Amino acid sequence: MSKPTAAPKGPGGRGPMGPRPKVKKDTLPRVIKLLFQFYPKLIPIVIFCIIFAAIVNAIPSIFTQKVLAVITTSVDNGTPLAEAFPQILPLIGILVGLYVVSISLITLQSQLMAYITQGFLSKMRCKMFDGMQTLPIKYFDTHKHGDIMSHYTNDIDTLRQLISQSLPSLLQASIIVVTVLFIMLYYSVPMTLVVLLGVIAMFFVSKKIGGGSAKYFVRQQKSIGKTEGFIQEMMNGQRVVKVFCHEEAAQEDFDELNDALYKDSYKANAFANCLGPIIMNIGNVLYVACALIGGVFLVANVPNFGLAMIPKFSIDIVVPFLNMTKQFTGNVNQVSQQINHIAMGLAGAERLFDLMDQEPEVDDGYVTLVNANVAADGSITESHARTGHWAWKHPHKDGTTTYTLLRGDVRLTEVDFAYEEGKPVLHDVSVYAEPGQKVAFVGSTGAGKTTITNLINRFYDIADGKVRYDGININKIKKSDLRRSLGIVLQDTNLFTGTVIDNIRYGNLDASDEDCRHAAKLAGADDFITRLPQGYDTPLQNNGANLSQGQRQLIAIARAAVADPPVMILDEATSSIDTRTEAIVQRGMDKLMEGRTVFVIAHRLSTIMDADVIMVLEHGRIIERGNHETLLAQKGTYYQLYTGAFELE
């Protein structure tokens, strides 16, 4: 098991080489656009509720000023306060009424946001999963599965916090700040300028500290993905870890990743946690400054000017202003706090969008597979019912359509291929498989055997050469139709959560129970399946952990059999089956292969002795080809393999 390579350090050990990660500028607009796209009617209602509640929260100072003005006037005129109540009570009544409406709208908003948030996440998961189904095999070969899983768990959770809490709180706090600012300007421009000086200080502190926080929140999300990917890798390979006593080395590797996650998380939260207290204390200082300056203005009879046209400072201006200052700075603090949560949410959202933005598998094919009627004169027509015959439907530019009977003639001509540019895997490979032929590939690991079958499936596209299927360039064949005509049994078996018969039916979802049982008998799996506690209805979980490796392989072979394809690819299909079981399976496989074109990859030469053509590969080239007897007579590499002169590996 290879040891994960640590990320290279930049100058001074400041982390991975290159610029520090930042959230893309279009991430937040994309989230908001998707919200409106998914809920075009509900989002405006939520925004209205937030705006109304924010304004109601911002205007108590207006009522306070008016009440104090009434009381001050009464005191100055020597009027009993009891006579001022008729003027005060309507103000209180209006404010109470606004609060009641605000509470109702807040309740409605909270219910709608719960519905919208969970619905949004559900739709996002669907979009991600649907998009993931269109990705090429190369994506999954080059990305850790645990990191991909992190998109559906951790990143989705940060998006939940962003939508349900951070964005609504940011909008509400921002509206309160703007509303209070206008109210302050309305009553007193000089006092507003005093407040704004403090707010400028808050802004610079928020920008400095919040920027550092956002940067590390992005790194934290990436570190979480790497850590979860490693954990899943260790869980899947736990037997290998224990067999080779690799526990300590695995622990060291995990500690390295965990330490990186700790450092990124610590720095992100250190910035985030110190921002709030700093902003709050700046607000407290500003509150005291406003009280002192307001007192000085009162004592010195400093002229006042504002939109309200109140000529001089008075208690009914200074006292509400203190409340507005507290409210203003408190909501500025709230905005600064939400910036950190938004940064973390956007970091998760960006990772989700990175997955969603992956280029889908290119499929420019237009030749499709259809049911066909074959007339006595050999003419072929399309049928809408299952006939037992298949044909390639080939539309042409002149508007005509031709049909080619599906026979299973597969030819690779002078094919070159490389998984990575500059590192060729196949060189000038030519393979000719006529209908009904059994073609076997032999060679050491890495010789290119499985790569050839990957090219036939178009899991990867060739760099040069031609691959033709029944005389048609496979680039012209729609990938789903191409793969529907191919059955494949891999060395690594994947069984899904469900019953045994469900896993067999995976090869053909239209297959009946009887079809599945027939396929199992053909593959030699019926005997052990009927002895399971619930037979074909026995539930399987965790990749069939309650079955032996050989039993899992037999189910995979039955799955391919129920698909009934004209071409079969067997990639080490019997590698995990003991010799006795292999003899049973081989009889079933012989029946399964009758009349089909079959590509076999095998280390056990006994399973391919009856192949029509055996090809020996070495370093991506075919060095020998012929049947068993011909190759033995040549006394080359195959002869040495067969006689045990040297091992495949």
Residue 16 is predicted with a pLDDT of: 35
- Number of Cβ within 10 Å of residue 238's Cβ equals 13
Is it true that 117-356 and 410-643 share their CATH fold?
no
Give the span between the Cα atoms of 269 and 203, in whole angstroms: 19
CB 50 within 8 A of CB 108: no
Q: Give the pLDDT confidence score for residue 13 in this predicted structure.
A: 36
Instruction: Report yes or no: 391 and 404 within 8 Å, Cβ to Cβ.
Output: yes
User: Backbone dihedral region of 564: left (phi > 0), alpha (psi from -120 to 50 degrees) or beta?
Assistant: left
Report the distance separating Cα 110 and Cα 165, nearest Å: 10
CA dihedral 590, 591, 595, 600 (to 10 degrees): -30
Residue type, position 433, single letter: A
What pLDDT does 645 receive?
47
The residues facing 432 across adjacent strands are 411
Report d(CA 417, CA 386) in Å as an integer: 37
Spans in the chain with pLDDT lower than 70: 1-23, 65, 69, 73-84, 206, 209-214, 236, 239-240, 242-244, 272, 573-577, 581-582, 584-585, 588, 645-649
**Roughly what angle, to the nearest 10 degrees, separates helices 167-187 and 189-236?**
170
- Are β-strands 486-489 and 567-571 bridged in parallel, bridged antiparallel, or unpaired? parallel
The pLDDT score that the predictor gives to residue 19 is: 39
Region 117-356: CATH code:
1.20.1560.10
Quote the CA–CA distance of 536 and 528 in Å, as a whole number: 10
| pLDDT of res. 22 | 57
How far is the CA of 407 from the CAs of 389, 411, 459, 596, 647, in angstroms? 10, 12, 22, 8, 36
Q: Which residue has the tokens 């729609």?
A: 478
Q: Give 24-38 pLDDT, tens digit per residue.
A: 778 889 999 999 999
Domain regions of the chain by residue span: 117-356, 368-405, 410-643
454: tokens are 């990957």
Beta strands 464-469 and 410-420, pairing class: antiparallel
For the domain bounded by 410-643, which CATH number is listed? Answer: 3.40.50.300
> What is the tens place of the pLDDT at every residue in 168-213?
988 998 898 888 888 888 888 888 888 888 878 777 776 776 666 6
pLDDT of residue 163: 92
Q: Rounded to whole angstroms, how far apart are CA atoms 357 and 211?
A: 26
Give the integer Cα–Cα distance in Å for 526 and 523: 8
Burial class, 580, CB count within 10 angstroms (exposed 0-12 / middle 13-18 / buried 19+): exposed
User: What is the structure's pLDDT at 383?
Assistant: 86
| Alpha-helical segments (H) within 458-544 | 479-484, 500-505, 513-523, 526-530
Phi/psi of residue 480, nearest 5 degrees: -65, -40
Residue 146, pLDDT score = 77
Q: Please check whether residue 592 is in contact with residue 488, taking contact to mean a CB–CB distance below 8 angstroms.
A: no
The pLDDT score that the predictor gives to residue 213 is 67
